A = this chain, B = another copy of it.
Amino acid sequence: MELLEERIRRDGVVKSEGVLKVDSFLNHQLDIDLFDAMGEEFKRLFADAPITKILTIEASGIGIACVVARHFGVPVVFAKKAQSINLDGEMFTTRIESFTHGRVYDVIVSKKFLNADDHVLIIDDFLANGCALNGLIELVGEAGATVEGIGIAIEKGFQPGGDDLRERGYRLESLAIVERMDPETGEIAFR
């Protein structure tokens, strides 16, 4: 998606070989007009899929998922990273390793909000090694629901998560795939 690639080139900061900082528009300050354009593009890409629900994971996936969901006319469910006393009842659970935060999370979704009739579009801001997405796919599987597709804002094409998911047959659409980043020059090359 040209608009997103341009924005990454303009406002993204290559912090190191693996770290791309896009906090000015994607995951700390959020550009809602950009998210809206991304929602339109995901709707175009998944126009034929019978999506009933959008699933994401807190925290930085939620904003994109909600703006995208308007284009599909479906609710969002976000997986939570820890048990809260307000979240009783039965849960689908999995564990996700976060390399960014250097820890392992328990991740939960209430059984009330995913079921065997659901056709799920998974939305997230970043895809690198795929740990978070694999956890979300597992939660959908526990519910007996169907993963119709996966929509990602930025995929790090030099990490294995995206290609693994494609090889396993998932319909994965990443709006920008970063192939190489140079922390010396700040240059970013897209696939």
Contacts and interface: CB of A to CB of B under 8 A. Distances in A.
Q: What is the copy number of this chain in the assembly? A: 2
A3 to B, nearest CB: 16
A130 interface: no
A20 to B, nearest CB: 9
Interface of A: 15, 19, 21, 23-25, 28-33, 35-36, 58-59, 62-63, 65-67, 69-70, 73-78, 80, 82, 84-88, 100-102, 109-110, 112-113
16 contacts: A21-B86, A24-B113, A29-B75, A29-B76, A29-B112, A30-B75, A32-B66, A32-B69, A32-B70, A59-B59, A62-B62, A62-B66, A63-B65, A63-B66, A63-B78, A66-B66
A70 B30 CA distance: 11
A35 B80 contact: no
Interface centre among A25, A66, A77, by most chain B C-beta atoms within 10 angstroms, is A66
Given A28-B110, A76-B63, A112-B24, A84 B70 contact: no
